[in-house]
């Protein structure tokens, strides 16, 4: 009986181990797709720290990301900021390609830093094409283009766009100006405002996208896409956005815009006559709005930022009214006023005139300029006033 038991036990043991592969562990998970992030920066020192901060906070493994960065024709310290960030961050990313150009600081025929002559369009198209060639050469699965005044405050943006499985897709970014990529180039349709205000949500086919967009290079049709040179049949305005849209159309590749969530913010489009200071003030306004609508912007930890130079705007004192139990409002207002470079206190002093803020103020664009202009007009007409 004992012998029979031993033989049976041996047989069972041998049967369990006969197929050796059954002892192997389960297969490991697939790694995320590889992504190239294309950074093309010019004269955006005011927004670049927040742009880079958003990139480094993306919930995506950095060892699956390569960064292709170029900067050119700068009259501010964009190059220094980008170089400072890349010097620290290059050890986290799979690979970094750095293409700076210090001079010249302007394009031929350019009337100002926000003016776009054809020479500027052509150079930007060449840079975007160079980034696309780099991604293809490295067999990247995706390439993400994101303008340096587009702040992806939602850290899941990249994952969410990849999950949509579209050849060309853009997240709808919020702005106080028109969302130009929405339903066409400066075009209004019945779906425009419902989509912009997210009364209608989803991922929708659109004629063109720009500013921030993800390209799936694994798709067959993507082989024919190009930013430069323009398609041989192209006869429209010399504009990188429209040139790429025509390339998509010729290759029968549909572009999509997704507004299912809040993904981030883009700066108000600058006018050709605007200065860098105008652009900075517009960005400050978008930044302050992000603190109300959320999620807010945060600068990179690896970029040095100079302290703000606050002043009293010609007033003897500026007060901030706040309830102690609303520390959240106080913190937001103090941060906002610091960004606006307005000096504020919560003390009682004797004075001739004072500016008072409540802690739920929502600032208009160019707020400080407007108030200064108002006070100049009050003095010119010698208005006798107590409270305005």
Q: Identify the pLDDT of residue 351.
A: 67
Q: Identify the pLDDT of residue 161.
A: 98
C-alpha distances in angstroms, 19 versus 12, 14, 23, 347?
13, 9, 8, 81
Q: Identify the pLDDT of residue 179.
A: 52
Q: Identify the pLDDT of residue 7.
A: 42
Q: Is residue 248 part of a domain?
A: yes
Indicate whether 182 pLDDT > 60: no
Q: Identify the pLDDT of residue 188.
A: 66
Same domain for 327 and 184, yes or no, is no
Cis? peptide before 295, omega within 30° of 0: yes
pLDDT confidence band for 178 (50 / 70 / 90): low
Strands 168-171 and 212-216: antiparallel
Q: Is residue 236 part of a domain?
A: yes
Same domain for 234 and 340, yes or no, is no
Average pLDDT over residues 140-155: 97
Q: Identify the pLDDT of residue 3.
A: 42
pLDDT confidence band for 327 (50 / 70 / 90): confident
Same domain for 207 and 313, yes or no, is no
Indicate whether 69 pLDDT > 60: yes
Same domain for 162 and 247, yes or no, is yes
pLDDT confidence band for 11 (50 / 70 / 90): very low
pLDDT confidence band for 239 (50 / 70 / 90): very high
Q: Is residue 140 part of a domain?
A: yes
pLDDT confidence band for 354 (50 / 70 / 90): confident
Q: Domain of 104?
A: 35-266
Same domain for 205 and 335, yes or no, is no
Same domain for 154 and 207, yes or no, is yes
What's the first-to-final CA gap in the chain, in angstroms? 106
Same domain for 259 and 388, yes or no, is no
CB atoms inside a 10 Å sphere around CB 308 = 13
**Could you give the percent of the chain with pLDDT greater than 70?**
90
Tokens of 234: 């192209």
pLDDT confidence band for 233 (50 / 70 / 90): very high
Q: Give yes or no for a contact between 255 and 207, defined as CB atoms under 8 angstroms apart.
A: yes
**Look-up of token digits 């992000």:** 290
Q: Is residue 23 part of a domain?
A: no
Same domain for 213 and 124, yes or no, is yes
Q: Give yes or no for a contact between 132 and 227, defined as CB atoms under 8 angstroms apart.
A: yes
Q: Is residue 281 part of a domain?
A: no
**Considering 233, 266, 299, which residue would you say is the last residue of a domain?**
266
Q: Is residue 272 part of a domain?
A: no
Indicate whether 181 pLDDT > 60: no
Indicate whether 19 pLDDT > 60: no
pLDDT confidence band for 185 (50 / 70 / 90): very low
pLDDT confidence band for 177 (50 / 70 / 90): low
Which range, of 173-187, 231-245, 266-280, 314-328, averages the lowest pLDDT?
173-187
Nearest-angstrom CA–CA distance, 382 and 338: 31
**Considering 248, 266, 284, which residue would you say is the last residue of a domain?**
266
pLDDT confidence band for 54 (50 / 70 / 90): very high
**Look-up of token digits 């160019």:** 366
**Considering 241, 266, 291, which residue would you say is the last residue of a domain?**
266
Name which residue leads in pLDDT, 89 or 292. 89
Q: Is residue 361 part of a domain?
A: yes
Same domain for 237 and 324, yes or no, is no
Q: Is residue 365 part of a domain?
A: yes
Indicate whether 1 pLDDT > 60: no
Question: Total domain count for the chain?
Answer: 2
Q: Identify the pLDDT of residue 143.
A: 98
CB atoms inside a 10 Å sphere around CB 105 = 14
pLDDT confidence band for 186 (50 / 70 / 90): very low
pLDDT tens sequence across 311-325? 999 999 898 888 777
Q: Identify the pLDDT of residue 180.
A: 45
Which range, of 22-31, 46-55, 231-240, averages the lowest pLDDT?
22-31
Same domain for 331 and 254, yes or no, is no
- CATH number reported for the structural domain that contains residue 180 in this entry: 3.90.550.10
Same domain for 256 and 131, yes or no, is yes
Average pLDDT over residues 279-301: 92
Q: Nearest 5°: phi and psi at 233? A: -95, 5
Average pLDDT over residues 214-225: 96
């Amino acid at each position: 009986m004992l012998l029979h038991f031993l033989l049976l036990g041996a047989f069972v043991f041998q049967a369990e181990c006969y197929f050796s592969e059954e002892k192997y562990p389960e297969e490991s998970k697939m790694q995320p797709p590889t992504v190239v992030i294309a950074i093309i920066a010019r004269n955006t020192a005011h927004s670049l720290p927040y742009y880079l901060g958003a990139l480094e906070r993306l919930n995506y493994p950095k060892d699956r990301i390569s960064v292709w960065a170029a900067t050119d024709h700068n009259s501010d310290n964009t190059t220094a900021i980008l170089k400072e960030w890349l010097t620290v961050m290059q050890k986290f990313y799979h690979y970094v390609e750095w293409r700076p150009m210090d001079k010249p600081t302007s394009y031929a025929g350019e009337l100002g830093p926000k003016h776009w002559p054809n020479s500027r369009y052509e150079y930007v198209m060449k840079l975007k094409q160079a980034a696309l060639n780099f991604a293809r050469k490295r067999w990247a699965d995706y390439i993400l283009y994101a303008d340096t005044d587009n702040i992806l405050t939602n850290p899941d943006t990249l994952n969410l766009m990849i999950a949509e499985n579209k050849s060309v897709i853009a997240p709808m970014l919020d702005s106080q100006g028109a969302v130009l990529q929405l339903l066409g180039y400066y075009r209004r349709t019945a779906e425009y405002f419902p989509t912009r205000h997210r009364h209608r949500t989803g991922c929708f086919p659109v004629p063109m996208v720009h500013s921030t967009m993800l390209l799936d290079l694994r798709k067959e049709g993507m082989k024919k896409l190009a930013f430069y040179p323009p398609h041989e049949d192209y006869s429209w305005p010399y504009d990188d956005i429209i040139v790429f849209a025509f390339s998509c159309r010729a290759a029968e590749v549909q572009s999509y815009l997704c507004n299912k969530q809040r993904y981030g913010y883009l700066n108000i489009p600058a006018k050709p006559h605007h200065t860098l200071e105008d652009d900075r003030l517009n960005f400050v306004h978008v930044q302050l709005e992000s603190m109300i609508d959320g999620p807010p912007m945060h600068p990179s930890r690896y970029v040095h930022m100079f302290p703000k130079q606050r002043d009293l705007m010609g007033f003897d004192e500026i007060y901030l009214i706040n309830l102690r139990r609303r520390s959240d409002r106080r913190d937001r207002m103090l941060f906002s006023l610091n960004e606006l470079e307005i000096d504020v206190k919560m003390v009682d002093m004797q004075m001739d005139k004072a500016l008072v803020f409540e802690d739920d103020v929502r600032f208009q664009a160019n707020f400080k300029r407007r108030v200064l202009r108002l006070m100049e007009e009050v003095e010119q007409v010698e208005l006798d006033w107590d409270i305005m």
